[in-house]
Amino acid sequence: MPKTPETGAQILRRAARRRIRPLLGGSGALSVWQVCEALVPVAIGIIVDRAIIPLSIPALVISIIGLGLLFTVLSLGYRFGARLCNSAREHEAHALRVEITHAALTAPSLPADRTSGEILSTASADADTAAASFQQAGRGIASVLGMITAAVFLLIADPVTGLVVLIAVPIGLIIVALPGRSVSVRATAQLEAVASAGRSASDLMHGLRVIKAMGGEPWAVRRYRTTSDAAAEAGVATGERTGRVAGLGALVMSAVLAIVLIVAGLRLIDGQMSVGALIGILGMTAFLTEPMRALADIVGLFAQSHGAADRIARLLTSLDAATSTADATDTLAEAAPTTRGTRPSVTTTESGITVTGWPTNGEARELTTTGGALTCIVSEDAEDAAVLLAELTSHARILGPARMLVAPHDVDLFEGTIGSNITMVVADDRTEAADHPTGHPPISPEVLTASGVDELLDLVDGGLDYRIQELGGNLSGGQRQRVALARALNADPKILVLAEPTTAVDAVTEAKIAQGLCRLRHRGGDQATIILTSSPAFLAAADTVVYRPTSGPLLIGRHADLLETDTDSAAAYRDAVTR
């Protein structure tokens, strides 16, 4: 597995390596454009000396044809060079967005200092800014070659003027490049402030309905205004520093041009050059302003790209560290499950899951689920259940959804149809729409029945094509839970873990769902199902019930048998599951 880049410089070098072909092609074509731009004043000077002053019509015709060819090559060079550099930029920005999104989705958990809003900002704004370095690189290489062409011509036309350019221009470029580091620091601070504003906006939009219901709009506005103002101030600071660099570049390059013009004028007065050479030198001097200013701007823009790449590298490193920590923890748990105190260890078998390291009264008990069985786990301590769910979730992220899927208690629905929320296929995807006229793959009737969605479809217009609003706002809590349950069942994983999937559903519907889910998961014969719940309907349908009290032995058996057991733990179990 390729090593995750740890710095912005490594991000940019890797990007250059994997886009080397369009980058070289674009830089070459842009260089042709810039060299042709540099030759335009040379061509005009030659035309003056060879055609206009001697009044030669044939030479003038040939000169016009040559000038037309020069401009044709010039135009085509810019056209294809810009196209290749833009292609490299867009493809690299896409690759960075996909890499960031994949790292965030596959990491066992997000780092504590990272939120979804910040990751969204990094995957969009930072990725685009970092990838813009391809445009800067292509234009920078072309500008340097244009300046070299100008210097060579000046050396040939007048060695003294050429030497002035060769000495003054590098000095000017060094002076302009010196403040580049400060621009990078400012740009990084700006991107972090924008990410903070995005994080705040994401949080506020997620809880917008609650804010409106509680009358908290003024508080929300003040909170977002604070973060937005900070982002604006950071943007102004970056713009100010970038403007200073650009101004310094313009000043330095103007001074260089003034020196060149003075030297060329003195040489003309001494009669050491022709009129055509003077025109060429003046035109070449005027041409030099474009690549010089471009290089001055590129320094600031590249510093911004480097700052964005630094943020991407830090995010990828933190996500990679989270994944590595989870893998190491899982390996340690398999090797020494009883050394983790009260934190359980989860390992998978061919037919199910084994949970170890669950000590009760000093004695560690092992729980093994088997394929084709439905196991319900009841924990007297909510924190204990949360720890187990976190371990199961971490393990599922490593295995992948086809092998193991954990459906959390919190329901997240997305804008689209009921069908697209169940199949997780975007309704307007062209390929899927072509394969499936309904906009989503077919859904098994058994899945709809087992989740209780079949009753929901009778209550809404359009059935599976019924449009769901943002966050499922036009569905009740129980209806949202049923759609989320159908989504988990439709995924059909080998191991399915559910956490209180029907707390917002009435008792009659819950009993129907419990029976339907049990039949559906038993049908495969090798699929293990674990449900963390205290619902009597699911407990009664389960093949095995596990009760973990805060003190006392771990109880394992069928629901009816545990209810009839005459022990203190069994009494606690009856209290926990009685509604």
d(Cα 480, Cα 555) in Å, to the nearest integer? 33
Q: Is the pLDDT of residue 330 over 50?
A: no
d(Cα 13, Cα 58) in Å, to the nearest integer? 53
Q: Which domains does the chain have, with CATH numbers?
A: 8-320 (1.20.1560.10), 345-577 (3.40.50.300)
Confidence of residue 76 (pLDDT cuts 50, 70, 90): very high
Q: Is the pLDDT of residue 366 over 80?
A: no
Task: Taking residues 274-297, report their average pLDDT.
Answer: 70
Least confident range of 161-170, 434-443, 530-539: 434-443
Q: Report CA-CA distances (Å) from 125 to 128, 258, 328, 423.
A: 5, 40, 33, 30
Query: What is the pLDDT at residue 348?
Result: 74
Angle between helices 217-269 and 159-177 (to 10 degrees): 160
Task: Taking residues 423-429, report their average pLDDT.
Answer: 53
CA neighbor of 40 nearest in space, from 159, 200, 150, 166:
150
Angle between helices 133-157 and 57-106 (to 10 degrees): 150
Q: What residue type is 155 in one-letter code?
A: L
Between 268 and 13, the more confident residue is 13
Mode of pairing for the β-strands spanning 495-499 and 353-360: unpaired
CA neighbor of 139 nearest in space, from 305, 309, 313, 258:
305
Q: How far from each other are the two terminal CA atoms of the chain, in whole angstroms?
A: 51
Q: In which order are the strands placed within the sheet that holds 363-368?
A: 345-348, 353-360, 363-368
d(Cα 247, Cα 171) in Å, to the nearest integer? 16
Q: Is the pLDDT of residue 96 over 80?
A: yes
d(Cα 53, Cα 186) in Å, to the nearest integer? 55
pLDDT averaged over the chain? 77
Task: Taking residues 553-578, report their average pLDDT.
Answer: 80
For residue 357, the SS3 value is strand
What number of CA atoms fall less than 13 Å from residue 319's CA on the CB side? 24
d(Cα 456, Cα 483) in Å, to the nearest integer? 9
Between 472 and 37, the more confident residue is 37
Task: Taking residues 149-178, report their average pLDDT.
Answer: 73
d(Cα 11, Cα 314) in Å, to the nearest integer? 10
Q: Is the pLDDT of residue 48 over 60?
A: yes
Query: What is the pLDDT at residue 112?
Result: 60
**Phi and psi for 548 in degrees, rounded to 5?**
-110, 105
What number of CA atoms fall less than 13 Å from residue 201's CA on the CB side? 16
Q: Report CA-CA distances (Å) from 6 to 13, 127, 200, 352, 386.
A: 12, 16, 27, 38, 33
Query: What is the pLDDT at residue 431?
Result: 44
Query: What is the pLDDT at residue 108?
Result: 61
Query: What is the pLDDT at residue 554?
Result: 77
Task: Taking residues 288-314, report their average pLDDT.
Answer: 76
Q: Is the pLDDT of residue 331 over 60?
A: no
Q: Is the pLDDT of residue 122 over 60?
A: yes
> Partners of 346 in the beta sheet?
355
Task: Taking residues 552-565, report their average pLDDT.
Answer: 82
Instruction: Tell me the pLDDT tens digit for each residue of 485-517.
Output: 998 888 888 888 898 888 888 888 889 999 989
Query: What is the pLDDT at residue 342?
Result: 56
Q: Is the pLDDT of residue 579 over 70?
A: no
For residue 353, the SS3 value is strand
Task: Taking residues 338-348, report their average pLDDT.
Answer: 59
For residue 504, the SS3 value is coil
Query: What is the pLDDT at residue 111?
Result: 65
Mode of pairing for the β-strands spanning 363-368 and 353-360: antiparallel
The percent of residues above 90 in pLDDT, for the chain, comes to 2
Tell me the longest C-alpha to C-alpha distance in the chain.
Answer: 121
Angle between helices 275-335 and 180-206 (to 10 degrees): 50
Confidence of residue 343 (pLDDT cuts 50, 70, 90): low
Task: Taking residues 85-114, report their average pLDDT.
Answer: 80
Query: What is the pLDDT at residue 203?
Result: 67
Query: What is the pLDDT at residue 206?
Result: 64
> Partners of 532 in the beta sheet?
377, 499
Confidence of residue 34 (pLDDT cuts 50, 70, 90): confident
Q: Is the pLDDT of residue 326 over 60?
A: no
Task: Taking residues 388-413, report their average pLDDT.
Answer: 80
Q: What residue type is 386 in one-letter code?
A: A
Q: Is the pLDDT of residue 483 over 80?
A: yes
For residue 54, the SS3 value is coil
d(Cα 145, Cα 138) in Å, to the nearest integer? 11
> Partners of 358 in the beta sheet?
365
d(Cα 198, Cα 195) in Å, to the nearest integer? 5
Are 539 and 376 spatial neighbours (Cβ–Cβ below 8 Å)?
A: yes
Query: What is the pLDDT at residue 8?
Result: 79
- In 363-493, at which residue ranges do the beta strands (DSSP E only) sit? 363-368, 374-379, 404-407, 416-417, 467-468
